[in-house]
């Protein structure tokens, strides 16, 4: 595990009396960056320990989970296969951009599954069938990473992030830990680690995908699995709701693109549009309207990575429309300096 930096973060729209800091889990590496990397360290170790040479996973077309898994697997000499959720079954439709480009570059095998067949149960059944088939055809054993990579080995990855946070002064310097949450695997690990070390800070996961109760339900299961059934999920994590995507393909994604641009222009930190931008939008809204839910004024935001999503075609089309050629001029004659407006 590598330690990632923390620095002050002056996001536009922050109330004056709030001190916001950012933990750069986006800086775990380049192709291997984001909040999945620490989890994969334990999952892939388990795969190797149990004699698996093939990794099977699943995710959406622009999945950070699949991208990091494919890259990490290849680094370790493992083969990777992914079920990819899509509304279009044509192999060309996956395109060659953002996360999927990197998966293709490292030789991942991709199986498109129609969105209408995509339930957790059906996807797990397909992954089992794929593992069976690979074993029969090649004799190779597969390690299956469940949807969203939410499993017990992965939990240790987030315990190790928490350990890193403690070594960076978490308990003395901050009151609240906050960040984007989807399946809730990351905040499950962080909230359990916080509980086991005396619940000194308050954990808030800003839900960007599912209803809050799904995150609580999953965490309650994990608590039971690890022998902490007396703990109630609601007591160890505040799931902030109301900022979920209706659908990542819906038009409201443009509001998140705006946040990506505003935050990048003001702070130089690049958020991903689907998780980070939405979470920051939710965080600012809560800080400005619902302040009592935070324990104090010193907040630490976890940047979960996902930078390759800014290379999505949709985002590029949007940027072309929003920024156009602002701040770009041709300078032909080398004498008088052309005027570049700051406006966009």
Ligand X SMILES: Cc1ncc(COP(=O)(O)O)c(C=O)c1O
- Residues serving a catalytic function are 63
167 burial type by CB count under 10 A (0-12 exposed, 13-18 middle, 19+ buried):
exposed
Find the part of the chain contacting ligand X (CB under 6 A) among 109-117, 176-184, 194-202, 259-267: 176-184
Min dist CB 119 to ligand X, Å, is 17
Find the part of the chain contacting ligand X (CB under 6 A) among 3-11, 120-128, 182-190, 240-248: 182-190
Residue 272 touches ligand X, criterion: CB under 6 A? yes
Residue 304 touches ligand X, criterion: CB under 6 A? yes
Residue 97 touches ligand X, criterion: CB under 6 A? no
Min dist CB 293 to ligand X, Å, is 19
91 burial type by CB count under 10 A (0-12 exposed, 13-18 middle, 19+ buried):
exposed
One of 42, 162, 243, 275 touching ligand X (CB under 6 A)? 275
Residue 183 touches ligand X, criterion: CB under 6 A? yes
One of 178, 202, 306, 310 touching ligand X (CB under 6 A)? 306
Contacts of 40 (CB under 8 A, 6+ apart): 68, 69, 72, 149, 154, 157
d(CA 300, CA 293): 15
Is the Cβ–Cβ distance between 290 and 328 less than 8 Å?
no
Min dist CB 185 to ligand X, Å, is 3
d(CA 258, CA 273): 9
Neighbour count for residue 124 (Cβ, 10 Å): 15
Residue 305 touches ligand X, criterion: CB under 6 A? yes
Residue 181 touches ligand X, criterion: CB under 6 A? yes
Residue 308 touches ligand X, criterion: CB under 6 A? no
Residue 25 touches ligand X, criterion: CB under 6 A? no
Residue 146 touches ligand X, criterion: CB under 6 A? no
The DSSP bridge pattern shows strands 79-86 and 54-60 to be: parallel
One of 4, 53, 64, 233 touching ligand X (CB under 6 A)? 64
One of 185, 261, 287, 300 touching ligand X (CB under 6 A)? 185
Contacts of 49 (CB under 8 A, 6+ apart): none
Residue 160 touches ligand X, criterion: CB under 6 A? no
d(CA 212, CA 241): 6
Find the part of the chain contacting ligand X (CB under 6 A) among 99-107, 216-224, 261-269, 304-312: 304-312
Find the part of the chain contacting ligand X (CB under 6 A) among 75-83, 248-256, 303-311, 328-336: 303-311
Residue 184 touches ligand X, criterion: CB under 6 A? yes
Residue 148 touches ligand X, criterion: CB under 6 A? yes
Residue number, 6 or 134, with CB nearest to ligand X: 6
Min dist CB 324 to ligand X, Å, is 28
Find the part of the chain contacting ligand X (CB under 6 A) among 14-22, 72-80, 132-140, 299-307: 299-307
Neighbour count for residue 231 (Cβ, 10 Å): 18
Residue 65 touches ligand X, criterion: CB under 6 A? yes
Min dist CB 209 to ligand X, Å, is 8
Handedness of CA 228, 237, 240, 117 (dihedral sign): negative
Site for ligand X in 194-253 (CB under 6 A): none
- Binding residues for ligand X, per CB under 6 A? 34-35, 64-65, 148, 180-186, 272, 275, 304-306
């Amino acid at each position: 595990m590598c330690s990632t930096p923390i620095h002050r973060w002056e996001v536009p729209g922050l109330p004056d009396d709030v001190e916001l800091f950012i933990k750069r889990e986006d800086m775990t590496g380049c192709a291997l960056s984001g909040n999945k990397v620490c989890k994969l360290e334990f999952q892939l170790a388990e795969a190797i320990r149990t004699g698996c040479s093939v990794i099977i996973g699943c995710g959406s077309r622009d999945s950070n989970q699949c991208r990091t898994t494919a890259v990490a697997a290849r680094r370790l000499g493992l083969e990777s296969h992914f079920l990819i959720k899509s509304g279009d079954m044509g192999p060309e439709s996956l395109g060659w951009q953002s996360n999927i480009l990197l998966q293709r570059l490292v030789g991942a095998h991709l199986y498109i599954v129609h969105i209408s067949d995509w339930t957790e149960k059906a996807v797990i059944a397909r992954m089992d069938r794929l593992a069976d088939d690979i074993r029969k055809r090649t004799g190779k054993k597969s390690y299956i990473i469940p949807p969203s990579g939410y499993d017990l080995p992965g939990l240790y990855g987030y315990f190790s992030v928490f350990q890193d946070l403690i070594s960076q002064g978490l308990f003395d310097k901050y009151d609240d830990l906050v960040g984007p949450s989807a399946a809730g695997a990351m905040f499950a690990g962080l909230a359990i680690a916080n509980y086991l070390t005396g619940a000194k800070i308050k954990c808030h996961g800003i839900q960007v995908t599912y209803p809050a109760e799904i995150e609580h339900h999953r965490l309650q299961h994990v608590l039971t699995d690890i022998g902490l059934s007396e703990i109630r999920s609601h007591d160890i994590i505040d799931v902030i709701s109301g900022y979920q995507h209706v659908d990542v393909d819906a038009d409201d994604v443009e509001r998140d693109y705006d946040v990506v641009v505003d935050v990048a222009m003001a702070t130089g930190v690049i958020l991903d549009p689907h998780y980070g931008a939405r979470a920051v939008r939710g965080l600012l809204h809560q800080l400005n309207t619902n302040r009592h839910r935070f324990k104090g004024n010193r907040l630490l935001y976890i940047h979960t990575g996902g930078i390759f999503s800014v290379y999505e075609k949709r985002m590029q089309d949007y940027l072309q429309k929003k920024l156009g050629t602002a701040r770009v001029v041709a300078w032909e004659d080398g004498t008088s300096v052309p005027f570049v407006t700051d406006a966009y």
